[in-house]
Amino acid sequence: MNLIEIKDINAPELDLFARVTEPQLRGCFDPEPGVFLAETGSVILRALEAGYEPMSMLVESERLEAEARPVFEAVEKICGADKLDSIPIYVAPREVVTNLVGYHLVRGLWMALRRKPEVSVADFCVGKKRIAVLYDVVNPANVGAIIRSAAALGMDGVLLTHPSVDPLTRRTARVSMGTVFQIPWARASLEESEGVTLLDILRSFGFKTVAMALTSDSTNVDNDEIRSNEKLAVILGTEGTGLPKDVIAACDYRVMIPMHHGVDSLNVAAASAISFWELMK
């Protein structure tokens, strides 16, 4: 293995892990489509199993045997011994790594992996019957939790508007427990995300659209008529403001989860899990 001891937090080799932003990782590396960072052994393992190519690692020296060893073995098994020997594995004591990134790493290791080419909305829609659509959901933890629920509860994929959080951001992938690598997803282009354009595209593929929204004509989410549709797209809005009014009006159905004790709504991640469960019955 290509273990490289790091003592200086200003070493340029570490720019990738601490001094390059996630948008820069996505768009500023050649060849395209860029790079992303994964943290914790379980998330990294799922990324490797999904076929993402490892580029480099940063590991706390105290974690080399416990958390990092299974990752090394997975790289060798999946990518080959030559890959394990070629990728730089930067090793540093915990205090050096903490000073570098400003906080303790979760389980003490990160891996930089190369992205795969993005999937178009049209290609994403083929062959799917139940999908989640995230309209401008910008909280990384919520996106990660929604993806995890979608994977666990049998949805066929997750489609995001362009302003939504990139599912491969470090925190989103971690909150998803790596399920972001186990369920298909795609991000719409900026043009496809404008107004109700994305709903029109979904209809062209035979989807009925279901807005999670509190409106005067909303029906309960446990609706047999809605469930009976062959293809459903569950539309979820951003935190706080929810879905835009024009999107709500353009959907085929509007559904709500009955509330009690004066609570007006649930967090979008919690609401998504309930809606997936009900509409998959």
What angle separates helix 68-79 from helix 41-49, to the nearest 10 degrees? 10
CA terminus-to-terminus distance, the chain:
49
Please tell me whether residues 144 and 58 are part of one structural domain: no
Could you state, in chain order, the average pLDDT of each consecutive group of 10 residues for the chain (281 residues)? 84 80 70 84 95 93 88 95 94 78 66 93 97 95 96 96 94 95 96 96 97 86 92 91 92 89 85 91 76
Please tell me whether residues 81 and 200 are part of one structural domain: no
Q: Which residues pair with 58 in a beta bridge?
A: 90, 110
Of 156, 182, 175, 149, nearest to 48 (Cα)?
Answer: 182
Of 200, 255, 212, 259, nearest to 237 (Cα)?
Answer: 212
pLDDT at 153: 95
Range of the domain at 225: 121-279
pLDDT at 31: 56
Please tell me whether residues 104 and 136 are part of one structural domain: no
Please tell me whether residues 131 and 109 are part of one structural domain: no
| Number of separate domains in the chain | 2
Rounded CA separation 200/125 (Å):
13
Please tell me whether residues 110 and 125 are part of one structural domain: no
Please tell me whether residues 49 and 186 are part of one structural domain: no
Please tell me whether residues 134 and 159 are part of one structural domain: yes
Please tell me whether residues 152 and 182 are part of one structural domain: yes
Q: What strands, in cross-sheet order, belong to the sheet with 109-114? A: 2-5, 88-92, 53-60, 109-114, 35-39
Please tell me whether residues 32 and 108 are part of one structural domain: yes
- 3-state SS assignment for residue 252: coil
CATH number of the domain enclosing 84: 3.30.1330.30
pLDDT at 259: 81
